[in-house]
Structure 1
Amino acid sequence: MRIRAENREFYRKLRQLSLPIAFQSLMLAMVATGDALMLGRVAQEEMTAVSLATQVQFVQNMFVMAITAAGSILGAQYWGKGDRKTLQDLFHLMIRFSMTLSLAFCLACELIPELLMRIFTHDGELIALGSAYLRIAGWSYLLTGLSQSYMAVMKVTDHVKPCAWISSAAVVINILLNAVFIFGLLGAPRMQARGAALATTVSRITELALCVGISAGKDYVRPEWRKIFRGSRQLTRDFGRQCLPLLGGSLFWGIGFTSYTAIMGHMGVDAAAASSVAAVVRDLICCVCNGIGGAAGIIVGNELGAGNLERGKAYGIKLKNISYVIGLCSMALVLAITPGVVRMVILTDQAREYLTGMMVIMAVYMIGRCVNTVTINGVLDGGGDTVFDMYSLAVCMWGIAIPLALLGAFVFRWHPLLVYACTCLDEVGKIPWVMIRFRKYKWVQNLTREQTEG
């Protein structure tokens, strides 16, 4: 009876956490979908330029994710322990580091947008369109770190649903303003790619305002701005021990993914356009595994921080098994929607052919993506085993997938679909290594301290 009650509690908490996180992930992915669909109705070049330009924000998000993930890992354990003060100190650390980073990316978008675009394409028209987008959207990047820090703290303190509603409101505003500014509705100027950037900026302002307003309520952990640049040296060291491997992993993954986009961008406009659409579909389908992965880190972290090591270990095993089921379901879903996706977007015949092949390849990729997201970014990270992700990316992505894709694209001149398959190789290939690491149970550890002062 006790085991049955624990199982019910586990699945109840998994639903409570994963569904809002998955919904939030879906809402964020809907922004990219809205951009792609609306700009796809304007011109293939507009859609492709924005897809390439947003890789800058993707890289920024890798830094911000490392910072907020480190805070979430420690925060989940301290919240499980009942230490609210230390969690607030972690909040201050997240704000301090993420705002400094966001300022750097904002300045880069305003001062050197053409240089940033040349990383992803050599096409002059795409560079011009993407640079115009970045000059406007760059201001939204200034707000990203702050809003993500607020939402990270909300999630680990059992306020997951407000995060989903905040993201939903921001996405609805973004999509509506996309339509207004891209197409010039309601008397607004027809701005096309620049309109998508303006809509993104307004929605980010709204998102941050909602975060600050909701966090002012009772029972929410909120920052004390006069203490932002103060804090415990010991806690800062603990934060750094979690953040640095996460940052290394995020950079490996983020720059690696950006490299994939750049490689496909140099394979021609048709291959780049097809890859852009496939990326939007991938991000939408990944919402479920993102939700379960986010929930996994909180669930496992809460138990380990409370000192319930065996229960945390058992929950981690359950979550790892669930990840395989989600992966197989995601593969089936990608295959099922492929015909509709190919018909939906305006592409050349060659780009349609590429997109069909990419969707089939991506279906297999989804198994590895789901397993690794839940197991590595959820369970292992939740227990503080953050260094493995960096090692696995260094070997599988940078040691195998990227070199093969580069050789195929620029030396051997392989077919674009074969090059795309190389970019999907790392997630599937590292599953055996992930399972070996998981079964060592190095992640079953309590990271909290009795004293964080001094």
Structure 2
Amino acid sequence: MIREKTFYRTFFALTLSLALQNLLTYGVNMMDTVMLGRYSQDAMGGVSLCNQVQFLLQMLVVGAGEGAVVLGAQYWGKGDLAPIPHIIGVALRFGGTLAAALFMVVLWAPERLLSLLSNEPAVIAQGVRYFQIICFTYVIFTLTNILVASLRSIGIVKIGYVISFSTLCINVFLNYCLIYGHFGLPELGVRGAAIATLVSRCVELGIVFYYLKYRERRLHLSLRSLVHIDVSYVRDYGRVSAPVLINQALWGVAQMVQTGILGHLGGDVTAANAIAVQVYQVLSVVSYGAASASGIVVGKTIGAGKREDLKGLVFTLQVIFVALGLSAGGAIFLLRGPILRVFGGALTARAGTLSMQFMAVMAVTTVGTSYQMACDNGIIRGGGDTAFSAKMNLVSMWLIVVPLSAMAAFWWRAAPVTVFFLLKWDQLYKSIPVAIRLHSWKWVKTVTRPEK
């Protein structure tokens, strides 16, 4: 274990900053779920289906941004910041193109897309109303998050949670006004929630532009520097980012397939899944923050040429990941009842029972997630090995999880909680291949260009 107190102060300050940003980001979707859950179970279910597309977008944005983070952190470790604006410019092009494509798909065929995720007409109808507005946030969300992720690669994290906090406050206030029709405004239900999110995303992007123009002093980013880039960095970025993009895309699609499996088991199951997933996302933010922080720390260490420090660093990080997983799992299990009471009487009795069961499953699988996800997406990816995760998740999700859970749902007619467990149990068994890869040390790679 590392014994220097300065390491722990630095690491946990970075972890908590990233966790706070994640908490505020997930809090936007959580408040949509809670406030719509008190308004109508069908409205909550419809929006939860739309949020699966939002989750796919988030995965693509993470994939596009991680290429910039991995490269940026190693260049930062070398003390060479000049290539980073070029890398950010490439990432914005990749991410913006993907977001625009997803926007067109949702705008043209919202009902057809939602029918793949549910067979409940009332739930689909609510989702279509939400989709028709929320799709206009996709490109805005992508630009904001890639810029924030890129700044994170050189240790600038405060702007992330300032943005997310602003978004949460605006979103909650406008939700209250527009979902229920307060302060003389019309009662718009799911459309009100979508409008609130659209306004929040526009404010987010405005804050980022202001920060880059008037406060950022390390990279001196400007519109000109992001547009006029050295295209030779496209190859560097693509080599690092392509495996991450593929992995994140496969993961996002897999989550939509999982939602579709549960969605075809009935509206109560859809509602219970929506609650369990949102609770998990909010209560596991510290684990995800630790994963992101470890990627930055490991990347900077390798970039600085201090490979001899990796052994103690990696062991220490693993202990931290397991401790955070146990804490998050315990919190989910203990808070199930109080969380469910927040939704009031809008849920059916069966939806409430299923929510308790699903959250109990999440409490167990979260421990595995905290370890294997943080080691994989944090240490291994931060070390320059971006391909391992894509290969592992391709086999795990598409050859084990999806076929087995689909058979359990539609052939064996298993109970919803059994199907839910089979959709999440990969978070436990993936700890084995991740641990093997981690201790092989084959993931340590230098992805920056050599000194001239």
- Scaled by the length of structure 1, what TM-score is found? 0.95
Residue of structure 1 in register with 2:364 after alignment: 364
SS of 2:68's equivalent? helix
- How far off is 1:451 after superposition? 5.9
- Asked if the contact 2:325/2:371 (under 8 Å) is kept, the reply is yes
- How far off is 1:143 after superposition? 0.5
| Residue-pair matches, total | 449
Give me the whole-angstrom Cα distance separating, in 2, the residues matched to 1:36 and 1:218.
35
Range 11-20 or range 44-53, more displaced: 11-20
Deviation track 1:369-421 (CA, whole Å, cap 9, x = no partner) reads 11122101110010111111112212222211111110011111111111001
Is it true that 1:39 corresponds to 2:36 in the alignment?
yes
Residue of structure 2 in register with 1:50 after alignment: 47
- How far off is 1:158 after superposition? 1.9
**Structure 2 CA distance for partners of 1:416 and 1:218, relative to 1, 3 Å:** closer
SS of 1:88's equivalent? helix
Residue of structure 2 in register with 1:385 after alignment: 385
Is it true that 1:285 corresponds to 2:283 in the alignment?
yes
- Asked if the contact 2:68/2:153 (under 8 Å) is kept, the reply is no
Q: In structure 2, give the amino acid aligned to 1:80.
A: G
Range 43-52 or range 214-223, more displaced: 214-223
- How far off is 1:145 after superposition? 1.4
Is it true that 1:196 corresponds to 2:193 in the alignment?
yes
- How far off is 1:132 after superposition? 1.1
- Asked if the contact 2:167/2:200 (under 8 Å) is kept, the reply is yes
Q: In structure 2, give the amino acid aligned to 1:333.
A: A
Is it true that 1:338 corresponds to 2:336 in the alignment?
yes
Residue of structure 2 in register with 1:398 after alignment: 398
Give me the whole-angstrom Cα distance separating, in 2, the residues matched to 1:442 and 1:172.
45
Deviation track 1:155-202 (CA, whole Å, cap 9, x = no partner) reads 122221121111111111111111111111111111110111001100
Give me the whole-angstrom Cα distance separating, in 2, the residues matched to 1:386 and 1:26.
26
Match of 2:321 among 304, 323, 326: 323
Is it true that 1:179 corresponds to 2:176 in the alignment?
yes
Give me the whole-angstrom Cα distance separating, in 2, the residues matched to 1:241 and 1:252.
18
RMSD over aligned Cα atoms: 1.7
- How far off is 1:109 after superposition? 2.3
Aligned residue runs from structure 1 range 142-153, under 5 A: 142-153=139-150
Deviation track 1:62-112 (CA, whole Å, cap 9, x = no partner) reads 111101011100011111111111011111111111111221222222222
Residue of structure 1 in register with 2:292 after alignment: 294
Q: In structure 2, give the amino acid aligned to 1:164.
A: Y
Give me the whole-angstrom Cα distance separating, in 1, the residues matched to 2:261 and 2:419.
9
Deviation track 1:132-164 (CA, whole Å, cap 9, x = no partner) reads 111111111120111012101221222211211
Aligned residue runs from structure 1 range 18-417, under 5 A: 18-216=15-213, 217-228=215-226, 230-345=228-343, 346-417=346-417
SS of 1:384's equivalent? coil
Deviation track 1:260-284 (CA, whole Å, cap 9, x = no partner) reads 1111111111111111100110111
Q: In structure 2, give the amino acid aligned to 1:395.
A: V
Unaligned stretches of 5+ residues in structure 1: none
- How far off is 1:316 after superposition? 2.4
Deviation track 1:116-138 (CA, whole Å, cap 9, x = no partner) reads 21121122222221111111111
Give me the whole-angstrom Cα distance separating, in 1, the residues matched to 2:100 and 2:397.
29
- Asked if the contact 2:283/2:332 (under 8 Å) is kept, the reply is yes
Give me the whole-angstrom Cα distance separating, in 2, the residues matched to 1:16 and 1:412.
48
Is it true that 1:12 corresponds to 2:9 in the alignment?
yes
SS of 1:85's equivalent? coil
Range 314-323 or range 13-22, more displaced: 314-323
- How far off is 1:229 after superposition? 5.2
Give me the whole-angstrom Cα distance separating, in 2, the residues matched to 1:344 and 1:185.
20
- Asked if the contact 1:121/1:262 (under 8 Å) is kept, the reply is yes
Q: In structure 1, give the amino acid aligned to 2:47.
A: V
Unaligned stretches of 5+ residues in structure 2: none
Give me the whole-angstrom Cα distance separating, in 2, the residues matched to 1:128 and 1:177.
22
- How far off is 1:315 after superposition? 1.7
- Asked if the contact 2:75/2:303 (under 8 Å) is kept, the reply is yes
